Amino acid sequence: MSQHDKHDHNHDHDQEHEHSKNPIIEWFQHTFTPHDHGYQTAALDAALATDRGLWAVKVSLVALLLTAVFQVVIVAISGSVALLADTIHNFSDALTAIPLGIAFTLSRRARNSRYTYGYGRAEDIAGVIIVLMIFITAVEAIRQSILKIMDPQSISNLGWVAVAAVIGFLGNEFVAIFRIRVGKQIGSAALVADGNHARTDGFTSLAVLAGVIGVWLGYPLLDPIVGLGIGAAILVIVWNSARDIYYRVMDAVEPEITELVKNIASKVQDVMEVNNIAIRWVGHRQRAEFHITVDCQMSTCKSHIIAENVRHALFHALPALADITVHVDPCECENCPDTHLSGHAVSSATA
């Protein structure tokens, strides 16, 4: 058992969950909070976090595929290029579940002598693939819209196009809520980015509805123009999602997390100073390392206990932390021996 697991994390995870007697309400509760044991538990338990990620991927895939298939039928009978662009986007969004699913499955593997940090980085690679897929979607939507502007075609079955647009909005909003919620719970940037992607898809579906109204009022060019706008909106998603994934690939973390680590570690008894803080995300888990300064007259055993107390405090405050390495330095005072000749205590723990 790891050092992190040995600590007693009493966060009332075993409280009973209330369930409605209404089967429909129970289904929604189960869908939006599958096996919900709370944010702390999901983050501290790597297996549970991975299972939740996979569950979110599966539900999203089914919901978006059903939405997209329905829209394909309506595109075939109507000829709406705006709806076509939205449908292509929904299919693309559904297919992003594939790299995410592979990444979450890989992250279940234990670390080994080659992959000493485990396989969590596969999740960030999946994020890169997702961004590329979104970009291709945007290019195709813009291309189809330009073709329809150059060669306008009539649109039929406006009522069904409107229904498909509403269905597209509802399906994407359902997926967005679910992905973002689970993504934030387990700290998955790729899943949150995919959720924001789905939410924007929902609003582009409403844009399709606006195009239908325009065609009904006698402005047929409004349909491909809306399709062009959807393509532009997707490019904005590409930019935002690419930025977030870039931060993860480059081992960037939110500055407030670094500050929080410093503040928490500094408040532990007998810690004199905290410096050289380095934190990184590996998939949906964080790893940190830093130095603390203690009294140079302190015994190795005592300084090790202080490092343990620092780790314990941080594991409780930052549930996504999977591994912490604390390097213990003696203070430099007149009673301190040459620090280059004395040994340094290093403590580490793995969740």
Render pLDDT for 61-78 as a digit per residue (tens, 0 to 9). Answer: 888 888 888 888 888 878
Cα 13 from Cα 39, distance rounded (Å): 9
The three-class DSSP label of residue 292 is strand
The predicted structure's pLDDT at residue 275: 94
Architecture of domain 33-249 in this structure: Up-down Bundle (1.20)
Per-residue pLDDT band for 201 (boundaries 50, 70, 90) equals confident
In degrees rounded to 5, what are phi and psi of residue 27? -65, -45
Measure the CA–CA gap between 241 and 105, rounded to whole angstroms.
22
What CA–CA distance (Å, rounded) separates 166 from 202? 9
pLDDT value of residue 123: 81
- What mean pLDDT is reported for the chain? 75
The β-bridge relationship of strands 285-294 and 321-330 is parallel
| pLDDT score for 163 | 86
**Average of per-residue pLDDT across 176-192:** 78
**Which of the listed ranges 116-120, 185-189, 244-248, 286-290 does the model predict with the highest average pLDDT?**
286-290
Provide the pLDDT for residue 91.
78
Residue boundaries of the structural domains of the chain: 33-249, 255-350
pTM comes to 0.62
Query: Angle, nearest 10°, between helix axes 158-186 and 189-216?
Result: 160
Please say whether the beta carbons of 87 and 72 come within 8 A: yes
Output the pLDDT for position 335: 65
* pLDDT value of residue 31: 41
- Per-residue DSSP letters for 297-348? TS-HHHHHHHHHHHHHHHHHH-TTEEEEEEEEEE--STT---TTTS--EEEE
Could you give the CA distance from residue 195 to residue 189 in angstroms, rounded to a whole number?
Answer: 10
Q: Which residue has the higher pLDDT, 321 or 199?
A: 321
Q: How far apart are CA 323 and CA 338, in angstroms?
A: 30
pLDDT of residue 53 exceeding 60: yes
| Predicted confidence band of residue 154 (pLDDT cuts 50, 70, 90) | low
pLDDT tens, 288-345?
999 999 998 889 999 999 999 999 999 988 877 888 999 999 988 776 655 444 445 5
Q: Which of 148-152, 169-173, 305-309 has the lowest mean pLDDT?
A: 148-152
Please report which confidence band the pLDDT of residue 44 belongs to, taking 50, 70 and 90 as the band edges.
very low
Q: Which residue has the higher pLDDT, 184 or 304?
A: 304
Q: Flag whether pLDDT at 50 surpasses 50.
A: yes
| pLDDT, tens only, 224-260 | 787 788 778 778 878 888 888 888 888 888 899 999 9
Looking at per-residue confidence, does 105 or 348 come out higher?
Answer: 105
Overall CATH class of domain 255-350: alpha beta
User: Residue 35 pLDDT > 90, yes or no?
Assistant: no
Strand order in the sheet with 273-282: 273-282, 285-294, 321-330, 345-350
Strands (E), the chain: 273-282, 285-294, 321-330, 345-350
pLDDT tens by residue, 6-31? 444 444 433 334 444 544 444 444 44
227 closest CA partner among 239, 217, 216, 215: 215
Report the share of the chain in percent with pLDDT over 70. Answer: 77
- Round to whole Å and give the CA distance between 104 and 59: 14
Which residues does 241 contact at the CB level (< 8 Å), separation at least 6?
127, 130, 131, 134, 193, 196, 197
Which pLDDT value is given to residue 49?
A: 62
Distances in Å between the Cα of 259 and the Cα atoms of 125, 266, 275, 330 are: 28, 11, 11, 22
pLDDT category at 271 given cuts 50, 70, 90 is very high
